[in-house]
Structure formats: C-alpha cells, structure tokens
C-alpha cells in the first residue's frame, strides 16, 4: 500500500524535481499527513488507517520497514514500524528503543496517533539523526480490536495490561513476542488517563489534574541496580525535561478513584507490560498523559489534537534522553542481564504507609467549580519487598508438566524434560495458596532433601534471559506467580511439597 495517503499530498512536479536535484533521493520521499491530520482531528484513526500509514512511511524511505508481529483476538494484524539505518554502525554502542502505543484501544488512542507523527519525524524530520546510533521500533496500535470496537479492553473484554502473568490473550502474547524479537534496551509504554472518572472519583466531586506521569519498572525481581538507575538517575531528568517543555510531569501516582483512598505508585507485578519489559533487563517506563473530560467541549474530537501534542512531548523527550544517555543505558542493561542469574530476587512486593511522611497533599480539581484544591491523602508510596531469596540455579517441575510448559512457552522460558529419573538435592517447601496478588503467602515448611525427579520432570536452567521471570511465575510467594490465579492456585496443596523445586547448587546428576 503506497498510494492512499501519498495521493493526498500536494506534489508540484517542479518542487520535487528541485528536491531530487538537491539530494539525489527518490521522488517518493515526501512526508505524508497522518490519518488524524487528514481527518482534521474529527475522529480517531481506525486500525486499517494506521496500518496503511505505516505502509506509506515504509514505502517512502528505505530505512523503515513494516513488520507484522502477530494478530489480535479477532485476527487484526499487530504491526511494528522498524527504523534501522542500513549503513549505520553496528556494535556495542548501538541501542534499540521501542515505543508502544494504545494498549487501551479506543479509550487511550493518543499514543498511537502520536507515534505516526513520530514515524514521520524519524523518516523525514528532526528525529532522523537519532537513527545514527539507535534502531527505533514503533508499535502504535497494540490493541487494534479495542480501537475498532470503541473500547479499552480487547475483543474478549480483557484489559491486556493486567494479563502479562497468565498471557491468556492474543495481544499480550504478541507484545511478549515483540519484546523477544526486538530485545530493546529502552522501552516506553504510552497511555492516557481520564481526569473524569464518572463511576468513581466524580462521585466524591473531584477530577484528577495530572498532565504527564512516568513510572519505572518497579517489580522487585528487577535487579536493584537497574531500579535505582531508572528511578534515581533517568526519571528525574525525564520529568524535568517534559515539565520544561510545558507539560508538568512527575512520578506516577497509582490510580485515584476516591479522595479517601491511600495513594501508591504504579502496580508492582508482572501483570503489566512495563514490568514485563523491565524483567527483560530493559530500561522500561510507562507514561500516562491527561485525557480530558468527555463532558467538556473542544475544537477537536475530545481534544485529541492537544492530547496528541502531550504525547509528542513525552515520546520525543524520551527518545532524545535515551539517545543522549545511551552509553549509560547500554552499560546498565548489560549489567542487569549479567546479574540476572545471580542477584537475589524479591518475591513479594507491596505498598505500606510511609512513616516518614504519612500524608501527602495532591492538587485535585473540584467538579463543580473546576478550581484546584489540595486534598490530603494517606501516603502509601513506600514499597516493601519480602520473601527475598537467593537465585536458584535450576527449577524442577515434577507434576502438571503440560500446564506449566504452556506457561513457560508463553513467557519464552526455555526448559528441558528429563528423559530418565534423577536424584537431585532440592529445597522442598509447602505453601498455603492465596488466589490474589496482595497478601503474603505463608511458607509452611522448607527442608533440603534428596528428590527422585521422575522422567518427564521439566528442568529450567535459570541462567537464561527469562530465568528470573521463571522464578517469579512459579514460586507461590511471588506476587507475579501464576499460583495467584484461581485456576493455578488450586494446584497448590498445603499438605504436601510444592511440585516446583528450586535447586541451589546446580543439578547433581546421579541417575
Ligand atoms: Zn492505559
């Protein structure tokens, strides 16, 4: 598809001829208007329009390629536009940056719309120089069914961004494929946040007033050095620069649905894409920009023009900062990926009251007057990590192998079934299951013993890229464990040893 959008362009022959004389490039190289620009901002783009636009960019410049990563539940393609300069220097100083848009479909379309502008600026505009040092992968429409069905969830009414532990949805698996395929060192997952929450916060008489919020990958399974780098080094720069560009930005505050709730930061488990990407060793952020009230009137469809501009400030700042700090990013990512098999791993994560400052004032907007007012919240932004363990070298799965193998495959964890029974020194533990992601899981007993692992036991070497993820998925104490979900929780039997056995010194093979 090359014609639809290009045919809308004014292309005076003489101007093109001059361009060709000046630069010696093909006549096709002219920046196409985005679907939203063509629509004069009166509705959001459809998935087909986005797809056609990616084709138009890919057809116009040789260094952009449209790649189909997978399919949605209803069979729509989920596509990435990959920018790679063919003649660019490959080597240790080169990085891959990935930006994901519109996981929340038609409810949060601005990220996807903005990524089409970003694509054009990479192909023709001022972002192109970044490609000298970075491959840039844009995945603007992560939930095409949701976009076309006019909803936040996917076609099965599932919020994709809570599905990354079970990975039961097609879109979730495609995003995991994208992570595996492109192995980005830096990732931004772009969202919008409605200021008017009619069914919740509005009942208290308030709107939120956040313009741009950024969150790091904060799961405690992510190495401490990486979390520190993302939170204490890069994040302040990111929010300061976005603020300087005119959009007040700060660290993400967990969704406020009542003025009486405590406030936290972002979700801590691997259910969300930000943490899933962080577990791959990438520097991973989420951004949420303001989504104006649907009850106000604006010159463009639900203020989509301004909403796209907010996204553009955030995404452009992110790209520039990652590019500028690429030496540090590459060093920290390499370190995180190296430390994976050895650094201790925190299984339980939660938020508690911060005794150092138990209250925090947050400016909220009154619904009736639209005036700003400071509201005092209980401050629960202190993160607690518990059940921290040494990284096992191996995990053995002695029962329910088919179900666990399916989980491992969704998470790109490599395993090997035992051909013959084997005697191994393991840590045998009993747990009381919890089918939720908030409570501690009691460890009832733990003892080192010799186990005769039967043939068919799954052997998972944790010294692999997704080794830490495997531990978080399979230890019932982890708040990211599959055993936190009812269908797997019922496999945990408090009266006998749990069928996933950690081994701490390598598998001693004594057949
Ligand atoms: Zn969202």
Written in H, E and C, the secondary structure of 85-154 is CCCCCCCCCCEEEEEEECCCHHHCCHHHHHHHHHHHHHHCCCCHHHHHCEEEEEECCCCHHHHHHCCCCC
User: Which residue's structure tokens are 């009154």?
Assistant: 366
Distance separating the N- and C-terminal Cα atoms of the chain: 60
Contact (Cβ atoms closer than 8 angstroms) between residue 279 and residue 273? no
Cα of 459 from ligand 1 centre, angstroms:
37
Contact (Cβ atoms closer than 8 angstroms) between residue 196 and residue 256? no
pLDDT less than 70: residues of the chain: 1-29, 86-92, 506-511
Cα of 108 from ligand 1 centre, angstroms:
6
290 and 365 co-located in one domain: no
CATH number of the domain within which 319 lies: 3.40.630.10
376 and 410 co-located in one domain: no
Our count of domains for the chain comes to 3
- Give the pLDDT confidence of 329-342 residue by residue, as tens digits: 999 999 999 998 88
50, part of any domain: no
Cα of 328 from ligand 1 centre, angstroms:
29
Quote the CA–CA distance of 138 and 168 in Å, as a whole number. 24
Contact (Cβ atoms closer than 8 angstroms) between residue 117 and residue 73? no
What percent of the chain is helix, strand and coil (3-state, nearest 5)? 35, 25, 40
Cα of 136 from ligand 1 centre, angstroms:
22
Q: Give every CB contact of residue 183 below 8 A, 6+ residues apart in sequence.
A: 96, 280
Cα of 152 from ligand 1 centre, angstroms:
8
Q: What pTM, to 2 d.p., does this model score?
A: 0.91
Cα of 171 from ligand 1 centre, angstroms:
14
Cα of 111 from ligand 1 centre, angstroms:
10
| E strand or H helix that includes residue 422 | strand 422-431
Cα of 153 from ligand 1 centre, angstroms:
10
Cα of 104 from ligand 1 centre, angstroms:
5
Cα of 330 from ligand 1 centre, angstroms:
28
Cα of 411 from ligand 1 centre, angstroms:
22
Cα of 188 from ligand 1 centre, angstroms:
12
Quote the CA–CA distance of 88 and 2 in Å, as a whole number. 26
- How many CB atoms sit inside 10 A of residue 196's CB? 17
Cα of 466 from ligand 1 centre, angstroms:
25
436, part of any domain: yes
Cα of 120 from ligand 1 centre, angstroms:
24
Q: Closest Cα partner for 396 from 436, 479, 453?
A: 453
Domain boundary among the residues 274, 304, 339 is at 339
68 and 128 co-located in one domain: yes
138 and 118 co-located in one domain: yes
Quote the CA–CA distance of 494 and 441 in Å, as a whole number. 11
Predicted pLDDT of residue 28: 52
Cα of 502 from ligand 1 centre, angstroms:
36
332 and 408 co-located in one domain: no
Quote the CA–CA distance of 88 and 94 in Å, as a whole number. 9
The torsion of the CA quartet 242, 244, 245, 250, rounded to 10 degrees, works out to 30
Q: Closest Cα partner for 346 from 385, 382, 381, 391?
A: 385
Domain boundary among the residues 331, 357, 385 is at 385
Q: Closest Cα partner for 265 from 189, 184, 377, 340?
A: 377
Predicted pLDDT of residue 30: 73
Quote the CA–CA distance of 297 and 291 in Å, as a whole number. 13
**Length of the chain as a residue count:** 511
40, part of any domain: no
Contact (Cβ atoms closer than 8 angstroms) between residue 192 and residue 108? yes
Cα of 192 from ligand 1 centre, angstroms:
6
Predicted pLDDT of residue 26: 47
319, part of any domain: yes
Cα of 67 from ligand 1 centre, angstroms:
24
414 and 370 co-located in one domain: no
- How many CB atoms sit inside 10 A of residue 417's CB? 12
397 and 482 co-located in one domain: yes
Cα of 212 from ligand 1 centre, angstroms:
13
264, part of any domain: yes
Cα of 371 from ligand 1 centre, angstroms:
26
321 and 441 co-located in one domain: no
Cα of 195 from ligand 1 centre, angstroms:
13
- At 386, list the tokens: 């518990």
Quote the CA–CA distance of 360 and 107 in Å, as a whole number. 29
Contact (Cβ atoms closer than 8 angstroms) between residue 396 and residue 459? yes
Bridge-partner residues for 289, per DSSP?
A: 192, 212
Bridge-partner residues for 138, per DSSP?
A: 81, 99
Bridge-partner residues for 388, per DSSP?
A: 346
Cα of 470 from ligand 1 centre, angstroms:
26
Give the domain range for residue 399: 392-503
301 and 364 co-located in one domain: no
Cα of 289 from ligand 1 centre, angstroms:
10
- Give the pLDDT confidence of 67-81 residue by residue, as tens digits: 999 999 999 999 999
Cα of 209 from ligand 1 centre, angstroms:
16
Q: Is 448 exposed, middle or buried (0-12, 13-18, 19+ CB in 10 A)?
A: exposed
147 and 230 co-located in one domain: yes
Predicted pLDDT of residue 93: 79
- At 199, list the tokens: 């069914």
Predicted pLDDT of residue 340: 86
Cα of 193 from ligand 1 centre, angstroms:
7
- How many CB atoms sit inside 10 A of residue 271's CB? 22
Cα of 296 from ligand 1 centre, angstroms:
21
48, part of any domain: no
Q: Closest Cα partner for 284 from 96, 430, 19, 3?
A: 96
441 and 323 co-located in one domain: no
Cα of 309 from ligand 1 centre, angstroms:
17
112 and 135 co-located in one domain: yes
Quote the CA–CA distance of 430 and 336 in Å, as a whole number. 31
Cα of 215 from ligand 1 centre, angstroms:
12
Cα of 300 from ligand 1 centre, angstroms:
21
Cα of 157 from ligand 1 centre, angstroms:
14
97, part of any domain: yes
- How many CB atoms sit inside 10 A of residue 211's CB? 19
């Amino acid at each position: 598809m090359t014609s639809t959008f290009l045919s809308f362009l004014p292309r005076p022959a003489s101007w093109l001829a001059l361009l060709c004389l000046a630069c010696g490039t093909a006549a096709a190289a002219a920046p196409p208007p985005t679907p939203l620009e063509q629509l004069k901002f009166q509705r959001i783009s459809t998935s087909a329009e986005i797809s056609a636009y990616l084709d138009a960019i890919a057809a116009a410049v040789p260094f952009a390629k449209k790649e189909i990563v997978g399919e949605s539940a209803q069979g729509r393609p989920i596509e990435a536009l990959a920018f790679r300069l063919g003649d660019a220097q490959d080597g240790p100083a080169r990085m891959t940056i990935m930006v994901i848009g519109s996981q929340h479909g038609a409810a949060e379309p601005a990220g996807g719309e903005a990524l089409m502008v970003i694509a054009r600026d990479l192909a023709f505009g001022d972002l192109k120089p970044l490609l000298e040092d970075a491959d840039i992968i844009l995945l603007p429409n992560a939930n095409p069914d949701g976009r076309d069905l006019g909803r936040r969830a996917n076609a099965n009414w599932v919020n994709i961004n809570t599905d990354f532990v079970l990975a039961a949805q097609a879109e979730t698996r495609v995003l995991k494929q994208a992570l595996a395929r492109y192995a980005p060192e830096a990732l931004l997952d772009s969202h919008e946040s409605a200021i008017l929450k009619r069914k919740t916060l509005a009942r208290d008489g308030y709107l939120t007033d956040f313009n741009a919020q950024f969150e790091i990958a904060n799961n405690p399974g992510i190495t401490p050095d990486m979390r520190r780098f993302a939170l204490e080094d890069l994040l302040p720069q990111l929010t300061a620069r976005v603020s300087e560009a005119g959009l007040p930005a700060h660290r993400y505050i967990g969704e406020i649905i009542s003025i009486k709730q405590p406030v936290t930061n972002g979700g801590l488990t691997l259910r969300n894409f930000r943490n899933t990407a962080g577990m791959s060793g990438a520097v991973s952020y989420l951004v949420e920009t303001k989504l104006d009230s649907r009850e106000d009137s604006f010159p463009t469809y639900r203020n989509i023009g301004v909403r796209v501009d907010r996204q553009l400030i955030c995404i452009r700042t992110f790209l520039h900062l990652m590019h500028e700090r690429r030496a540090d990013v590459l060093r920290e990512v390499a370190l995180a990926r190296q430390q994976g098999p050895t650094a201790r791993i925190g299984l339980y994560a939660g938020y508690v009251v911060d005794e150092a400052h138990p209250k925090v004032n947050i400016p909220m907007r009154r619904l009736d007057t639209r005036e700003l007012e400071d509201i005092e919240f209980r401050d629960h932004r202190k993160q607690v990590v518990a059940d921290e363990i040494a990284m096992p070298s191996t995990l053995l799965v002695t029962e329910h192998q088919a179900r666990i193998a399916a989980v491992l495959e969704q998470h790109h964890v490599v395993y090997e079934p035992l051909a013959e029974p084997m005697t191994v020194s393991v840590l045998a533990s009993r747990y009381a299951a919890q089918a939720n992601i908030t409570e501690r899981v009691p460890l009832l007993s733990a003892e080192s013993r010799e186990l005769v692992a039967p043939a068919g036991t799954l052997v998972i070497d944790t010294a692999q890229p997704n080794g830490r993820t495997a531990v978080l998925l399979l230890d019932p104490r982890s708040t990211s464990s599959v055993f936190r979900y009812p269908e797997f929780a019922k496999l945990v039997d408090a009266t006998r040893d749990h069928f996933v056995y950690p081994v701490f010194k390598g598998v001693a093979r004594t057949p």
